[in-house]
Amino acid sequence: MRWKGRRVSSNVEDRRGGGGAKAGGISIVGLVVAFVAWKFFGVDPQQAYQATKQVTQQASPAESKGLDNPTPEQQESIDFVGIVLADTEDSWSQIFQQQLNGQYVPPKLVMFNGTVNSGCGAAQSAMGPFYCPADRKVYIDTAFFKDMRTQMGISGEQNQTELSRADQAGDFAQAYVVAHEVGHHIQTLLGVSQQVQQARAQSSKVQGNQLSVRQELQADCLAGVWAHHNNARTQFLEQGDIEEAMDAAHKIGDDYLQKSATGQVVPDSFTHGSSQQRMTWFQNGLKSGLVSSCDTFNQPV
């Protein structure tokens, strides 16, 4: 993936400096792969917070400032995330004007270590990247990208520090993470998130899970729409990048994760969609470049 040399977003908040609390000594490292990946694209951070509430309450999450003297690897992670976020800003601004007759309002992106306070409550690394509709911010512990490679087996060189050497294999899978969370922001801007939240409040658990799946698949599709337009603008895609995204989508499918963790698959408990569904909807957005192609709520998924 070609990413260096483009504009860096001013909407990045780096809270990775010293002073941030570590939640009860727990981190992504050593957690069950299925748990980590289940939270990989968590659309409902409040639910995820409840799953780890007892752990996070053991700490007093303190907001930390940016790194005073970042290493070259840490600086590269800042630049990578900032450029990918800027790419979403530029592409979605065009898409909103051309397809939605509106003006795009970008989210903030918070980079943190260990734990963080968000508008949706205290959160920790084990939740994975998430979007909080309450404060309209994307939250990412960049160490997650390393664990994404090593624990989940996402394609790419192993044992890298944060996003070090992000020009190697795996960078587009990481950009896909950011684009998916921005997809949830798009859903908030369009009113989809609010409608889903209301519908889930009046639904059974199984029906609520089905709504969650459709919301997640739409975010996957919107990530594909972004990739389509960003490539038209910048020609940032290289050979193998799409395969990286497909590999990531496959390995975060609910069926893949459940089978890996327990040997069984329970479709009624899916919250993010099967591997095939996630790959299919990302491809739908990538091929069409149309927001209208991402109507997962009125089409069979």
pLDDT digits (tens, 9 = 90+) for 80-129: 999 999 999 999 999 999 999 999 999 999 999 888 999 999 888 777 88
Residue 37 clears pLDDT 60, i.e. is over it: no
Residue 6, domain member (yes or no): no
The C-alpha atoms of residue 110 and residue 129 are separated, in whole angstroms, by 10
Domain extent, residue 268, equals 12-294
Q: Which residue has the higher pLDDT, 40 or 265?
A: 265
- Report the predicted TM-score, pTM, of the whole model to 2 decimal places: 0.79
The pLDDT of 4-22, averaged and rounded, is 78
The pLDDT of 12-34, averaged and rounded, is 49
Residue 4, domain member (yes or no): no
The pLDDT of 274-291, averaged and rounded, is 95
The pLDDT of 8-13, averaged and rounded, is 95
The pLDDT of 132-141, averaged and rounded, is 94
Q: What confidence score (pLDDT) does residue 66 get?
A: 60
Q: What confidence score (pLDDT) does residue 30 get?
A: 32
Averaged confidence pLDDT in the chain: 80
Residue 1, domain member (yes or no): no
Q: How many domains are contained in the chain?
A: 1
Residue 2, domain member (yes or no): no
Residue 295 clears pLDDT 90, i.e. is over it: yes
pLDDT digits (tens, 9 = 90+) for 43-87: 444 444 444 444 334 333 444 456 667 778 778 888 999 999 999
Q: Confidence class of residue 149 from pLDDT cuts 50, 70 and 90?
A: low
Residue 212, domain member (yes or no): yes
Residue 51, domain member (yes or no): yes
Q: What confidence score (pLDDT) does residue 52 get?
A: 45
Residue 154, domain member (yes or no): yes
Residue 192 clears pLDDT 50, i.e. is over it: yes
